[in-house]
Structure 1
């Protein structure tokens, strides 16, 4: 199939195929955790990786499509649940039927170079469906392939690796772990450097479940949801110089806050103003907190590739958030993150079971942010060097992502895609400029062109 999407640029796709594990794998049913199994994660999310033609000596003259296809088949021997299908059990409990049906794979060729894409390397991707074709029947949660992968060769010798994954199966850390296993196989290894661990019971609810914390992240606090049509999708680039200028607006006792806390609070305030919430209406921001490591004492072993995070929610009346200096929002964010502990995480898993996994986050007045800067997306190297951009294809409804990015001038910073109704997006741009220090607007934030869309 041939598709033209801009100025004569063509993508030619072959028919989708299923890649199965190279060797026989166990036939069994595995339950996912109660943190995996929440309504809010029942969606698929696409990521894009753009590679130049810079092969290592061992990859000289080799076809990236062939190399990656074979490596996926080998990696699935170790990650065989990803080749299965999800089904529901009692109380809507999700489980994986490990049947080796395989993951979807598409081979494609384009008639353009990376250079011709220019600013389109950054989200929102205006031609997403050409770089990762939405195969009919593959977009669901139950009974569908858990991964969809497309590798598109470019005329310059580079290629684009695109992957869409079912979020109930893994988070960004888990996905990168699988991609690194593909990398290992592509380089001739017989097994992954980091062996995968299932052990999803670690993040299951207690018996009996008991909700011991207040979980504002799941509060249905607003009845008027954000409309899903006539949405504007933009990316905002924050330079290091600009972030420093923003930090200078904080009182002395908050200047040691993290860059994530600072930028999250800033965007939360600007976004709330743009949405024009009523003064007494609740504005909420949820940051995604990774619970791996020693800090939370969850005993999550290296190699665990399930969802190992929870939402840390911050609430404020819209009027207070909008009228106070940015330090007000920073303090709220810091306090919420500091209160995150093992009991909170256990309580969240218990809540999923008690509510039958039917609760999910609201959209109006809510802003969810995931920090992907340090999960390793930019380190995935199949043998052609590291990607020049690696990250999500854009925001997903009220969810935005912080991604490392280098602008066209070579300046490093943070890229943040955001979705809002068109009128609110226009107000957001004005607020971003208005809340900056005079004279530093261009230093802090550069905005790419709007992409109007109805569905990512």
Structure 2
């Protein structure tokens, strides 16, 4: 997918704090032991593009969003607070009601100028978000949500957010934003009432992990990685349409073709192409890590309306030699086995126990391909009164990536790699698809 050469500067107004529209409790609410792990100490961005609506030509989207935020914060009042760090680096929300950061802006650009297919990295995302994108771990004593509404020349607008990941995961953010839209539209209360219930994902006393958790185990010879901090990286998005997915499926043994999901198929293919492109030694351990939503799982069920972090990670491991020399079906089998492990009863409880025992560490990233599947998420269903967005999802991508739904039943996979590795990855994808077709 070709990148656009779009360039513009947004004219931002003065930032303000949007507080809850009504009184809220003043209390200290502890985050769960899944919430406050070290890897989530950063602000995750999201971005939504809306076309202008003739029936709302006189409505100011910035004012509508501001009013909807204020109303929603009455129900989601912890988001208007500030994180405090308790002994042992435990995080808790001080529900101060101070509010969230809000900026309105204007840009002399039309929505169509962003290109035919929007996906991360979104062109000029830095002009559409309040903060520069970073993996900064400073989350204490700051607003937990930053919002920018940018009016476009065509009458459309862009809604950009950056939210502290310790507070919410993607389903939680979507639930909150849907409440913003509902209340901005005149509803008296959100259709889904928010539920805190973070204690359901706390470690036991004493912590007693029931399973192994390789995602938090140091990789062997972790310094031997081809992706180093500060390295030059390039971004490119790859579109896999129904034809490409069908061709890849034909590479699998007949017994696997009908049972293999698109996520499994594309994950296995991209993992092999990426590993080969990075040039690891045949004996180097390589990992595929994927995000798992604990909602709806067995064990301690989470109530409807829970908006905290309910994510865990599954890990498939092998050597670079076995992965790249073996058939595509072997890579699929490795990921299937990893999925079966994380589907076990009380797996999220075991993760919380392990995190506390290990001191809330970061998950391992060395020689790891991390993917979040957004094809079934509701990120694109956030209606602020202008209908569904043209695009709703991540604004940027890093070494971790996403599977993003594309028009016509396809899947877009953004990729971020060093320049030479990106050239090899592109060639590997082409060769793999050609091999499938032949």
TM-score, length basis structure 1: 0.90
Counterpart position of 2:326: 324
- After TM superposition, the structure 1 = structure 2 runs for residues 280-299 of structure 1, keeping only pairs within 5 Å, are 280-293=283-296, 295-299=297-301
Counterpart position of 1:364: 366
SS of 1:339's equivalent in the other structure is: helix
Structure 1: stretches of 5+ with no match in the other structure: 442-456
Aligned-residue offset at 1:119: 4.7
Give 1:170's match in structure 2, choosing from 160, 168, 183.
168
Counterpart position of 2:14: 15
Aligned-residue offset at 1:266: 1.0
Question: Could you tell me whether the CA contact under 8 Å between 1:138 and 1:145 is conserved in 2?
Answer: no
Counterpart position of 2:406: 405
Counterpart position of 1:276: 279
- After TM superposition, the structure 1 = structure 2 runs for residues 78-89 of structure 1, keeping only pairs within 5 Å, are 78-89=75-86
Give 2:263's match in structure 1, choosing from 260, 263, 267.
260
Question: Could you tell me whether the CA contact under 8 Å between 1:275 and 1:365 is conserved in 2?
Answer: no
Question: Could you tell me whether the CA contact under 8 Å between 1:211 and 1:348 is conserved in 2?
Answer: yes
- After TM superposition, the structure 1 = structure 2 runs for residues 26-105 of structure 1, keeping only pairs within 5 Å, are 26-54=25-53, 57=55, 59-105=56-102
TM-score, length basis structure 2: 0.93
SS of 2:218's equivalent in the other structure is: coil
Deviations along 1:191-244, one digit per CA (max 9) or x if unpaired, are 101000001000110111012311111121122342132011111111122111
Q: For the aligned residues, what is the CA RMSD? A: 2.0
Counterpart position of 2:204: 206
Aligned-residue offset at 1:394: 2.5
Structure 2: stretches of 5+ with no match in the other structure: none
Counterpart position of 2:431: 434
Give 2:338's match in structure 1, choosing from 336, 339, 354.
336
Question: Could you tell me whether the CA contact under 8 Å between 1:35 and 1:307 is conserved in 2?
Answer: yes
The more displaced of 158-167 and 209-218 is: 209-218
Deviations along 1:99-120, one digit per CA (max 9) or x if unpaired, are 1111111100111111122157
Aligned length: 428
Measured in 2, the distance between the counterparts of 1:369 and 1:424 equals 18
Aligned-residue offset at 1:137: 12
Question: Could you tell me whether the CA contact under 8 Å between 1:394 and 1:418 is conserved in 2?
Answer: no
